[in-house]
Amino acid sequence: MAHPKSDFLQILTERGFIHQTSDLDAIDQLAAKGEIIAYVGYDCTAPSLHVGSLISIMMLHWLQQTGNKPITLMGGGTTRVGDPSGRDETRRILTLEKIEEHKTGIGKVFDRFLSFGDGKDDALMVDNADWLAPLNYIDFLRDVGKNFSVNRMLSMDSAKMRLDREQELSFIEFNYMLLQAYDYVELARRLGCNLQMGGSDQWGNIVTGMDLGRRMGTHQLHALTCPLLTTASGAKMGKTASGAVWLNEDQLSAYDYWQYWRNTEDADVGRFLKLFTTLPMDEIARLEKLEGADVNDAKKVLATEATALLHGRGKAEAAAETARKTFEQGAVGDDLPVVEVAAAELGAGISVILAFVTAGLVASNSEARRQIKGGGLKVNDKPVSDDKLKLDSSNLSDENVIKLSMGKKKHVLLRPV
RNA sequence: GGAGGAGUGCCCGAGUGGCUAAAGGGGACGGGCUGUAAACCCGUUGACUUCGGUCUACGUUGGUUCGAAUCCAACCUCCUCCA
């Protein structure tokens, strides 16, 4: 469909959110009337979501902005089983306590993107443990299981991949798609849900749910998936030096989050501006035209806008300012991570090696020595050449800190207390 | 239950008695080039170190040997085939 009528599909299409849909015309008609009730499921496998999930959160955001109702489904029940999709090994089975903990962590992030409440277009958050946990095995087999063909299940990518590679697919995992399909039916019945969205790896699970809905007599259900993002050079999105790009601030600071977006590859800037900011399309078009070193301006806009969505405008601008000072002036930015040391210890002099280990910039004394040999460590922007160097109060800057750097991008301030 | 096969560093994977902290590749980190990009080039990639070395490591536990990732035994885990 070249020109969707609904604002929702209009936006998703022009911003590059759509990978695959079941019946685009039908979804368009519902969206135009503000009658979409859509959900995305999030399993509680980690204490926070990461940028990989952001694209689906943005879809929910636009859905609500265009007058439809979003539902976030917490997989409190399905996480107990574990989704085999796209995995070549069985997930470790998490304890119920962990799952609860993760659920709380993950839930926090949605307030930034959605407005929750009881009104018609307000977002809802539900937990599939509410209906999955009390299920009775025999009843479930009779009511739901009879609608599934093992032949077909075996042919689905999530199962096929394991079978083809002769890797274990345990029975518990094999059941995951039944539960996710059943979720869709349950949400359709309880809340009138009529659309499930997710990453393209979820397509199989989603259409299985649609199919189950038809067999179990719900209204017509729909599917819409977004592309799984990789960077232009093919890497999976969401990894940095220090691990995943978490959305919760206690897992990844606003400054580091800003830096993540700032370091976007040139070829990705336009695509990411469309997906991860709410800037108007004509503004994005302008930024996309920038070339050469000017692309950096677009990356800064991307970083600030994306960070503002998640952490608020104030923190985004503070991060931008710190980055400006740190990288463009070589000065000391306020937002850099600070590590405190006892003033007395510093007065007595501490070895550079210990200082860098304490700051967490290197993992061990040996690594510190190696990095010094390789010229990777700096104190107050001056390379360290001697691993026996001692730091003391004479190294303190006017701001009463010592700036430790590893490479060009990682900096920590050492402050005496 | 029977018969085979496999378990090596972050990952993949070579190595079948000393020259092995363990080839090669990937990833990661650092340096160079640049624009805090990509690509490319170089270096590093167990810990501790007074830089002489020391210690810990090839599924687990024992054994043989001057010496074991390599040989032997038992155990654990996984895979394949048979019942």
Say what the ipTM of the complex is. 0.84
The CA–CA distances, whole Å, from A415 to A83, A300, A338 equal 46, 29, 7
Tell me the pLDDT of chain A averaged across its residues.
88
Nucleotide with C1' nearest the A322 CA:
B36
Instruction: For residue A363, say whether its CB is under 7 Å from any atom of strand B.
Output: yes
Please determine, for residue A161, whether its predicted confidence score (pLDDT) is greater than 70: no
Both tokens of A373, joined, read 């040999």
| Mean pLDDT value across residues A86-100 | 69
Cα–Cα distance, A313 to A327 (Å, whole number): 21
In this structure, are residues A221 and A210 in contact, taking their beta carbons and an 8 Å threshold? yes
pLDDT band at A240 (very low <50, low <70, confident <90, very high): low
Between CA A333 and CA A307 the distance in angstroms is: 17
CA of A374 to C1' of B31 (A): 7
Cα diameter, chain A: 77
Q: Which residue is nearest to nucleotide B43 (CA to C1')?
A: A374
Rounded distance between C-alpha atoms, residue A161 and residue A167, angstroms: 8
CA distances (Å), A167 to each of A48, A86, A162, in order? 29, 13, 5
Instruction: Work out if A116's Cβ lies within 7 angstroms of strand B.
Output: no
Of the candidates A182, A186, A230, the residue with the CA atom closest to the CA atom of residue A206? A182
Residue A93: per-residue pLDDT: 62
| Residue type present at position A350 | I
pLDDT tens-digit series, residues A343-379? 888 888 889 999 999 998 998 999 999 999 888 999 9
* Size of chain A, expressed as the number of residues it contains: 417
Q: Which of A408, A344, A355 is nearest to A381 (CA)?
A: A408
A86 in contact with nucleic chain B (CB within 7 A): no
Does the CB of A330 sit below 7 A from strand B?
Answer: no
Task: Give the pLDDT band (50/70/90) at residue A122.
Answer: very high
Q: Which nucleotide has its C1' atom closest to residue A368's CA?
A: B30
Residue identified by tokens 């109702």 is: A69
- Give nearest nucleotide to A296 (CA–C1'): B35
Give the pLDDT score at A28. Answer: 95
Measuring from the CA of residue A323 to each C1', which nucleotide is nearest?
A: B36
In this prediction the pTM is 0.88
Q: How far apart are CA A263 and CA A410, in angstroms?
A: 13
Chain B nucleotides with an atom closer than 7 Å to a protein C-beta? 28-32, 34-39, 43-49, 51, 78-80
CB of A299 lies under 7 Å from some atom of strand B: yes
Q: Name the least confident of A20-29, A159-168, A181-190.
A: A159-168
Query: How do the residues of chain A divide into helix, strand and coil, expressed in percent and rounded to 5?
Result: 50, 15, 35
Give the closest residue to A356 by CA, choosing from A375, A373, A371. Answer: A371
Q: How far is CA A352 from CA A225, A340, A348, A387, A398, in A?
A: 51, 15, 13, 7, 20
Measuring from the CA of residue A266 to each C1' atom, give the nucleotide at the shortest distance.
B37
Tell me the average pLDDT across A145-164.
78
A369 CA from B17 C1′ (Å): 35
Residue-level pLDDT at A164: 60
The CA–C1' separation of A113 and B45, in angstroms, is 41
Q: Which nucleotide is nearest to A319 (CA to C1')?
A: B36
Strand B within 7 A of A266 CB: yes
- Who contacts A262 (Cβ-Cβ below 8 Å, separation ≥6)? A299, A300, A302, A303, A323
State the amino acid at position A403 in one-letter form: K
Cα–Cα distance for residue pair A263/A231, rounded to 1 Å: 11
| Cα of A266 vs its chain's centroid, Å | 20
Round to a whole number and report the distance in Å from the CA of A265 to the C1' of B40.
16
DSSP SS3 for A328 = helix
Can you tell me the distance from the alpha carbon of A75 to that of A80, in angstroms, rounded to the nearest whole number?
8
- DSSP, collapsed to helix, strand or coil, labels residue A175 as coil
Residues A412, A379: contact at Cβ < 8 Å? no
Asked whether residue A219, judged by its CB, lies under 7 Å from any atom of the DNA or RNA strand B, the reply is no
